[in-house]
Amino acid sequence: MTNLFSSTTQKNSSPVECLGQAFPSEQVRREHFTKLLAEKLKDPAFRKIEGFPQGTDEAILAMSDPPYYTACPNPFLEDFVRHYGKPYDPSVKYSREPQTIDVSVGKTDPLYKAHSYHTKVPHLAIVPSILHYTEPGDIVLDGFGGSGMTGVAAQWCGSAPSVYRHELETEWKKQGKAAPKWGARRVILNDLSPAATFIAANYNLPFDVEAFAKAGKQLLKNVEQELGWMYETTDKDGKTKGRVEYTVWSEIFTCPHCAGEVNFLDEALDDDTKQVKGTFPCPHCGADLNKDNLDRVMESRVDPATGSAWKRVKFRPSIIFYDVGGQRRQKTPDQSDLALLERIDALPFPSGLPANRFPIEEMYHGSRIQPKGFECIHHFFLPRSAHATAALWRKAEAEPDARTRQMLIFFVEQALWTASLLNRYRPTGFSQVNQYLTGVYYVASQHAECSPWYILDGKLGRLAKTFQAFRPAAGWATVTTGTAARIPTLDSSVDYIFTDPPFGENIYYADLNFLVESWHQVRTDAKPEAIVDKFKKKALPEYQHLMQRCFAEYYRVLKPGRWMTVVFSNSKAAVWNAIQVALQQAGFVVAEVTALDKVQGSYRQVTSATAVKQDLVISAYKPNGGLEDRFNRNGATVESAWDFVQTHLKQLPAVKVTSGYPQELLNIVERDPRRVYDRMASWFIRHGAMVPISTPEFLSELPVRFREMDGMVFLPDQLVEYEKARSRIPQVKQAELFVSDERSAIDWLTNFLLKRPSTRAEIHPEYIPQIGSAKRKGEIIPELDQLLEDNFLRYDGTGDVPSQIHSYLSTNHKDLRSLEKSSPALVAKAKDRWYVPDPNKAQDLEKKREKALLKEFDTYRSFTGRKIKESRLEVLRAGFRAAWAAKDYKTIISIANKLPEETLQEDEKLLTLYDLALTRTEDGI
């Protein structure tokens, strides 16, 4: 890895190079770009950029380290890409298959744990993908960068230890893959949150580790000299001084029987088991109590920041854990301890402690904290913690060296959640640090108020050791703060995208980051946040459109023919469909979706929205420029459809093998003929063009133009590769098929009858269990008899036995082998068996079925009620397709408005056509 500084430990007086410019020292470099950023911040148009954070020029400059990191949209990002990137060259050959990743790998790695964040994909889970899709020096983008793990992974590709390299190369060799090209990749990290990008920048920009460790020790020492007296206590012997590690505070309730005050911790905690008792007696009247029948006490106080009246839940100290001569001891607070706390409580409001009010009315968690009296940042800190945390922050900000200062703040801000009332007391926990509930603002009835040394002493040493091993280099990462819908860089300039975007309403990032960002005084602009949040008036459609804009920006900056990996974590089918539609509308083509089975430690391919219960990895690509150019020249012709299929099949893996033993070949879902048709159809629809070939025509022509085996479609050279694997591993593991709607019911019957042409009596007991809990609410699945009649053929005993049935019977019944197709014995056994028709007859059936579906759609069109509570999905799909072909967008919108929300949102095809119809109507097309 080339380091533009001669060493991360060199002095600021050494010459440096940055974006092609030479500077006599690092300090001069920083001053130069800081001045340029300060001038840019004065531009009103710059500050009006969507997603621009809320903060003063001074606060933004204090967080930033331009040109590598800005706590606002990075005006130097385009220069970074021009200087280090390679322009897109269509003559350079590039070909990759989708890469599967394990998102649970590396969560115990010290580098992963160096700074917490609400959600993180470990860098060790990202490294293999970056190695697979890119070359050393390529540019990787993560527009939802969070804490910057994609950047760590990109640089780690050049500094991975030999043991790791050997393990990965051995694993790839087993899979038949060539060894990766080791070497760092450059990275662009973007996030809407300044709190996130500050973490990402400090993970990925170089600093003097030794200077940081020394300054950190001095920082903790200075705070102890100033405020150590606040954490002194006298041992139970009455004379020996000890230092408080943490004090346990309990919420105070009142007994509903006698109105006496009840210290919850004192009365409810079992000293032996360290568990909260189910019931316990009132200390005053002896009545049986539990937490549900206690009344909360609201204590009247004076707000230390405003001097106004303030009511908050009442807390009292119950246990003090302290250190005497290296031994941990505990005691009940005595009079001197209580007097000390009163003395601290009477001190003036600490300088530097933020008093920002939370946007309660726009917060999902507002109803959790406001009734308990917590509306402002300072409300979450008890007086002693408020003084200690403010002192840590002030002294960190006073560090003269800019990079050391940023790392000290990076170090100190990790204490904020633990130092606040959000930190729960966990009697059975090894440590009381980081005991807050993740992803939520929740003040528990027991709080562990930890001293700054208890929180940070060990952390300092671990950070120094971690960054001694991983030393990021200058010029390899650039960090920008803003919406992923507007990344300030060039078209077709990025070589690969790895991203873990927010999914639905899983995590409320802007709300959760408000606490830390208030200390920085630079806060997230939540308006463009891609999230489902009723308090911000963002439902699933708003989320989908925000994500679509972000994916469209990804599409713009990614080079043609290159890949994007999307990590998805949401169990709701509607959110999954919103993501798929957003991807397709942006122009991406999905090549593979895999689900990590954390129990089995293996992957399975996703075949149904109902299977979205685990972490998913979506592999999607931007079609190469040649395909787009040919489409623009030739239009929506049948040959354009086959051109897409040819290009798409090249992107799909030829062979997938299970990781277990014995190995099995995986059925590759994306090679299923119907799935290939769906991808092709979506591509044409996204381009505003009619699909030039019908499903039956496509399915009939597909095996003529390409190769089929085991129900999958291949290019000739891919089939050779698959057959080689098939000869070594004869067992093919079929994809799971969930019957959740009419289409999947037809697919299940097709698979069943292909293997085993059967009578209705034989089919029924196998089929019925498949349509149990997976059936969607409000979805009408026709009866088995209708499904068979509309989609399959039944041999009535007239004429020769169809070859499909003959092949099955002669294989499975010895007495029927070598018989003529007209043999009475064979005819008798074959009579009344249903089978899958050959392609020519299938086309006729499909046309007949389509006509019947459209006739039924007319009943939905004429429906006059408010909501169509139950519907056939296949009818809606056929009707929407016909309306789209006729450019009858109003019908699509009208019917969609009559459907239950989940019917529309849980079907990708309906959602796509509805979304496009809305767009066409709004654009006046």
pLDDT tens digits, 612-646: 445 678 899 999 878 888 998 999 999 999 999 99
d(CA 531, CA 509): 9
Mean pLDDT of 19-34: 95
Alpha helical stretches, state H, 661-708: 673-686, 695-705
Q: Could you give phi then psi for residue 828, rounded to 5 degrees?
A: -65, -40
Euclidean distance between CA atoms 76 and 89, whole angstroms: 24
Radius of gyration of the chain (CA): 32
| pLDDT at residue number 302 | 95
- Rounded to whole angstroms, the Cα distance separating 99 from 132 reads 7
Given a cut of 80, whether residue 286 has pLDDT beyond it is yes
Per-residue confidence (pLDDT) for residue 734, from 0 to 100: 64
Q: How far apart are CA 67 and CA 80, in angstroms?
A: 8
Confidence of residue 334 (pLDDT cuts 50, 70, 90): very high
Least reliable range by pLDDT among 6-20, 371-385, 788-802:
6-20
Distance of alpha carbon 231 from alpha carbon 656, whole angstroms: 60
Share of the chain above pLDDT 70, in %: 94
Instruction: Give the model's pLDDT for residue 601.
Output: 40
pLDDT higher than threshold 60 for residue 508: yes
For 103: left if phi > 0, alpha if psi spans -120 to 50, otherwise beta; the answer is alpha
Q: Which helix or strand (DSSP H or E) is residue 77 part of?
A: helix 77-84
pLDDT of residue 924: 61
Of the listed ranges 130-134, 395-399, 920-924, the one predicted with least confidence: 920-924
Position 606 scores a pLDDT of 47
Which of 630, 475, 524 has the alpha carbon at shortest distance from 198? 524
402-427 pLDDT, tens digit each: 999 999 999 999 999 999 999 999 99
Residue 571: pLDDT band by 50, 70, 90 thresholds? low
3-state secondary structure of 17: strand
821 band by pLDDT with thresholds 50, 70 and 90: confident
Shortest CA distance to 295 belongs to which of 278, 276, 314? 314
H-helix segments, 281-401: 335-345, 366-369, 383-397
**More confident site: 209 or 865:** 209
Mean pLDDT of 197-215: 97
The pLDDT of residue 735 is 62
Query: In this model, does residue 607 exceed pLDDT 50?
Result: no
CA distance 594 to 612: 10
Residue 5 has pLDDT above 80, yes or no: no
Q: Where residue 128 falls among pLDDT bands split at 50, 70, 90?
A: very high
The pLDDT assigned to 134 comes to 97
Query: How many Å apart are CA 735 and CA 741, to the nearest integer?
Result: 17
| 8, pLDDT greater than 70 | no
Q: How many residues does the chain have?
A: 925
If pLDDT is split at 50, 70 and 90, which confidence band does 60 have?
very high
Helix 784-791 crosses helix 839-861 at what angle (to 10 degrees)? Answer: 130
Question: By the 8 A CB rule, do 871 and 903 touch?
Answer: yes
The confidence score (pLDDT) of residue 596 equals 53
- Helices 889-898 and 908-922 cross at an angle (nearest 10°) of 130
Instruction: Give me the helix-helix angle, 873-885 and 742-755, nearest 10°.
Output: 110
The Cα–Cα gap between 660 and 584 comes to 33
Token readout for 614 is 């685990």
Res 603: pLDDT? 40
Least confident range of 152-156, 284-288, 684-688, 920-924: 920-924
* Per-residue model confidence (pLDDT) at position 612: 46
pLDDT score at 738: 64
At 767 the pLDDT is 86
Structure tokens at 116: 């917490």
Strand residues in 598-666 grouped as ranges (E): 602-605, 616-621, 665-666
Question: Measured in Å, how far apart are the chain's first and last C-alpha atoms?
Answer: 53
Return d(Cα 535, Cα 658) in angstroms, integer: 44
pLDDT reading at 925 higher than 80: no
Per-residue pLDDT at 41 exceeds 60: yes
Segment 460-488, tens digit of pLDDT:
999 999 999 998 999 999 999 999 999 99
Q: Kindly report, residue by residue over 227-264, the tens digit of the pLDDT.
A: 999 999 999 988 899 999 999 999 999 999 999 999 99
Q: Model confidence at 172, in pLDDT bands (50, 70, 90)?
A: confident
pLDDT of residue 576: 79
Predicted local confidence at residue 761, as pLDDT: 92
| Amino acid (1-letter code) at residue 664 | E
Could you give the percent of the chain with pLDDT greater than 90?
Answer: 61
Q: How confident is the model at residue 158 (pLDDT cuts 50, 70, 90)?
A: very high
Predicted confidence band of residue 605 (pLDDT cuts 50, 70, 90): very low
Contacts of residue 170, Cβ cutoff 8 Å, sequence gap at least 6: none
Q: What is the pLDDT of residue 663?
A: 72
Q: How would you label 863-897 residue by residue, b for 16+ Cβ within 10 Å and e otherwise?
A: eeeeebeebbbbbbbbbbbbbbeeebbebbeebbe
Peptide bond into 692 cis (omega under 30): no
Whole-structure pTM over 0.85, yes or no? yes
Write the DSSP string, 792-843: -EE--S-SSPPHHHHHHHHHH-GGGTT--TT-HHHHHHHTT-EEPPPHHHHH
Q: Please report where in the chains the tokens 């959790």 appear, as a residue.
A: 368
**Dist. CA 39–CA 431, nearest whole Å:** 47
- Cα separation, 806 vs 853, in Å, equals 32
What span, in angstroms and rounded, lies between the C-alpha atoms of 351 and 324?
Answer: 31
Read off the pLDDT of residues 692-744 as tens digits, 9 standing for 90 and up: 998 888 988 999 999 999 889 999 999 999 999 888 887 776 665 667 788 88
Flag whether pLDDT at 800 surpasses 80: yes
Residue 3 has pLDDT above 50, yes or no: no
Mapping DSSP to helix (H, G, I), strand (E, B) and coil, where does residue 433 land? coil
